[in-house]
Amino acid sequence: MNLKQLPAALALFSGLTFATAQAAIVYDNTVSDSGQTIFFGEGPYSEIGDSIVLGGSERRLTDATVQFYNSGGEGTFDATLRFYLAGVPVGAPWGGDYTAFGILAPEFGVFDVTFSNLALDFPANDLVFTISIANADSVLYLGLNLFDPPFSPGTSDTGFLIVADDQGQFSAPSAGDNSNPYFQLQAESAGTSTVPEPNTWALAATGAALLAALRARRG
């Protein structure tokens, strides 16, 4: 191979295309703050969450965001997100634990926590999510902020939320209006890949071989 052939080799790379995952919001309860907070210490509750119905058609869950309020001093804690099938009040667990470690909670502050790269295929439109906390500094007093329910995408009943007591027993206590935790959930279509398609790999391999031959010839 000579230098005159190099443009043809490089042209192989110019046409490379990648299949990029496009996430969409399938549930969004983050717009209208009700001014209410449900605290883990009030139950005391080991998990707090909600039963929701997803919008859209994407069901590979990718990212989820919740909003905490700390009414104590500054400190750190861990937070874990769990998903369950819908049930009375919850169904079987689906997927594993998704934990964010060493979260810094500001003194008397509101802050968001995002769980990323979930990669969880969910089989239904209805689900239950819960948040638990662990390893919290003693100065913290943490709760989840409640927002008015969403109309789109996704829906949730305003009449109750989901909690588990310190024995792990779930219930759906009435909490009046505006009883939906701040929660945004993103998802992508199942089977979407962020890596090159097979024909792209073939083109890349061919181009790499040609460039390697050129280096060997010039050496």
- Say how many Å lie between the first and final Cα of the chain, rounded: 12
Q: What is the pLDDT of residues 100-148, one digit of tens each?
A: 999 999 999 999 999 999 999 999 999 999 999 999 999 999 999 999 8
pLDDT tens track of the chain, all 219 residues? 554 554 554 444 445 444 455 899 999 999 989 899 999 999 999 999 999 999 999 999 999 999 999 999 999 999 999 999 999 999 999 999 999 999 999 999 999 999 999 999 999 999 999 999 999 999 999 999 999 877 789 999 877 899 999 999 999 987 656 679 999 999 999 875 444 444 433 434 434 443 333 333 334
Among all chains, which residue has been given the structure tokens 């230098």? Answer: 3
Question: Taken in order 48, 53, 55, 57, is the CA torsion positive or negative?
Answer: positive
Structure tokens at 218: 């010039």
Structure tokens at 193: 């890949």
Structure tokens at 89: 């009040």
What pTM, to 2 d.p., does this model score? 0.79
Question: Could you give the angle at the alpha carbon of 32 between the alpha carbons of 152 and 118, nearest 5°?
Answer: 60
Nearest residue to 183 via CA among 58, 95, 54: 54
Cα 172 from Cα 148, distance rounded (Å): 18
Question: Long-range contacts for 112-115 (Cβ within 8 Å, ≥24 apart)?
Answer: 112/65, 112/66, 112/67, 112/68, 112/182, 113/65, 113/66, 113/67, 113/68, 113/79, 114/63, 114/64, 114/65, 115/63, 115/64, 115/65, 115/81
Nearest residue to 25 via CA among 62, 67, 68: 62
Structure tokens at 65: 């965001």
Question: Could you give the angle at the alpha carbon of 146 between the alpha carbons of 145 and 152, nearest 5°?
Answer: 125
Which residue(s) pair with 103 in the sheet?
77
Cα 13 from Cα 219, distance rounded (Å): 23
**With DSSP H G I counted as helix, E B as strand and the rest as coil, what are the percentages for the chain, rounded to 5?**
15, 45, 35
* Fold of domain 24-188: Jelly Rolls (2.60.120)
Is residue 84 within 8 Å of 64, Cβ to Cβ? Answer: no
